[in-house]
Amino acid sequence: METFKLLAPLAWRNLWRNPRRTIITLFVVSVGLWSILAVASFISAWAQSSRDATLRLLIAQGQIHAVGYMDDPNISNLMPPPDEALVAALDTSGISNWVARLELPGVVQSEYKTLPVSLVGVDPEAERRISSIPSKIVEGRYLDGPEDDSAVIGLNLAKRLKTALGRRVILMVTAEDGWLEERSFDVVGIYDADTAFEDTYIFTGRRPMQAMVGVGDKIAQIAFEVPEDAALAGVVERLRAAAPTLDVREWRKISLIMGAMDATMGGVVFIWMAVMMVMISIGVINTQLMAVFERTHEFGLLRALGFKSRHVLLLVTFESVLLIGLGVLIGMIAGAATVWGLSDGIDLSAFGKALEAFKAGDTLYLEVNPIDYIIFPLAIWALGVVVALWPAYRAQKISPVEAMRQAT
């Protein structure tokens, strides 16, 4: 404690003997930390936005299928409409919205092209509450009701088929008897999502589709929405209890890609942190080594006056603790200020099409994640001090006799 009282003010004063060098190091540390925090906020906002945007299209937060449908989505793996117990569970267990859909792989044909697609039979009324597709119609209209036997197709698919609003396309879907059932559909609406989605999904009324493929009132899936992602696991459990013979899954197990993206998004921040750590380390080692070499004579004198070698080590380490600690503090303040400054959201709509592939929404809302503000500053501080042990160790090894003899 005595040593600390002696060394702390000494270390602090030593820092400001060369203000320019200290400020440069502070700058490196604080900009490094600020960029880590900003990148972390941005990536988590982006991940959440793209997740929400994708789930809002069709997947919702979870789905119920017949066992086997996820592996082989064909007509033999459909499920009956939900029974009373399941409807009761869907209506009560913290689910904000749910829809029943029929979805089967098929082929769409125009005068010019034949392409594989997924035909989805929907109940438009319910779909408006759970899916963003009805609001993404750029030409024509969405479906009127569950009896509507027209088709709503994607913008890019319309382009590839060389078809347009008001024309008809032929859809072929394998029916109950194993034959490919063909039907002509009038294109009444064109929606604009991302191109991969547009190329895959064609929507029509659920009942005409059920009649077309001859499956009675069977459906392929129930999609449900939960207000809070945290409540999802519990909801899935309750639905499993209500429908033990069905396959209830949350979105991470439906879209494996999205589940994986969700899990690895955080990794990007750590890669950025590693890069920043190298930069900061170089800065800190450089400054502290310079500071130590410059003061060889001084350390020799201190040793001659009674400083133990560990006191020299402590002194130099203290200097780096203070230096990096101050930088970390500035970095944290700058990071938080950036996030608060952009709290109105970052408008990405100007980049519209270019960012479509990333599937994010048009506006990103950054947030301060408290855990980021504990983990990253502590990590930088600790690692910075550890690398600064090397200059400190060099200082400790200075022999007083040789150092004193050295001309200054």
Partner 1 sequence: MPALTRRHLIATSAAFLVVPRMALAQDPQAILRAAFNNWRAETSHAVMEMTIRGASGTRSLTMESWTKGRDTALVRFTAPARDAGNATLQAGRRTYVFNPRLNQVIQLPASAMQQSWMGSDFSYNDLTKTEALVNDYTHRLLETRRAGGRNIYVIEAIPKRGKPIVWGKQIVTVRDDYVLLGQQFYDQTGVLVREMVTGKVRNIGGRPYPAEITMSSVATPDQWTRVVTKSAEFDLALPGYLFTRSNLQNPR
State the number of binding residues for partner 1 (CB under 8 A): 21
- Return the range that interacts with partner 1 (CB under 8 A); candidates 29-37, 40-48, 177-185, 227-235: 177-185
Q: Which one of residues 6, 8, 107, 268 is an interface residue with partner 1 (CB under 8 A)?
A: 107
Q: Does 147 bind partner 1 (CB under 8 A)?
A: no
Tokens of 334: 């700058």
Provide the β-strand partners of residue 64: 222, 248
- Return the range that interacts with partner 1 (CB under 8 A); candidates 122-130, 163-171, 218-226, 365-373: 163-171
Q: Does 172 bind partner 1 (CB under 8 A)?
A: yes
Neighbouring C-beta atoms of residue 408, cutoff 10 Å: 11
Q: Does 111 bind partner 1 (CB under 8 A)?
A: yes
Enumerate residues 116-135 that contact partner 1 by CB under 8 A: 116
**Cα–Cα dist 264/248, whole Å:** 24
- Return the range that interacts with partner 1 (CB under 8 A); candidates 58-66, 110-118, 198-206, 400-408: 110-118
Pick 147 or 228: Cβ nearer partner 1? 147
Q: Which one of residues 21, 141, 159, 168 is an interface residue with partner 1 (CB under 8 A)?
A: 168
Q: Does 295 bind partner 1 (CB under 8 A)?
A: no
Q: Does 167 bind partner 1 (CB under 8 A)?
A: yes
Q: Does 286 bind partner 1 (CB under 8 A)?
A: no
From residue 291, alpha-carbon distances to 294, 305, 392, 394 in Å are 5, 20, 10, 11
Q: Does 180 bind partner 1 (CB under 8 A)?
A: yes
Q: Does 204 bind partner 1 (CB under 8 A)?
A: no
**Cα–Cα dist 248/75, whole Å:** 19
Q: Does 141 bind partner 1 (CB under 8 A)?
A: no
Q: Which one of residues 109, 195, 255, 286 is an interface residue with partner 1 (CB under 8 A)?
A: 109
Pick 210 or 320: Cβ nearer partner 1? 210
Q: Of all helices (H) and strands (E), which one includes residue 114?
A: strand 114-122
Q: Helix-strand-coil percent breakdown of the chain, rounded to 5? A: 60, 20, 25
User: Where would I find the H helices in 105-228?
Assistant: 124-130, 155-161, 195-200, 206-213
Q: Does 88 bind partner 1 (CB under 8 A)?
A: no
Q: Which one of residues 96, 114, 264, 406 is an interface residue with partner 1 (CB under 8 A)?
A: 114
CA atoms within a 13 Å half-sphere pointing along the CA-CB vector of 318: 19
Q: Does 183 bind partner 1 (CB under 8 A)?
A: yes
Cβ-based neighbours of 102, under 8 Å, separated by 6 or more: 78, 120, 121, 206, 209, 210, 213, 215, 218, 219, 220
The per-residue DSSP string of 146-167 comes to TT---EEEEHHHHHHHT--TT-
Q: Does 159 bind partner 1 (CB under 8 A)?
A: no
Residue 143 is given by DSSP the state -
Provide the β-strand partners of residue 153: 190
Q: Does 179 bind partner 1 (CB under 8 A)?
A: yes
Interface with partner 1 by CB under 8 A: which residues? 106-107, 109-112, 114, 116, 162-163, 167-170, 172, 174, 179-180, 182-184
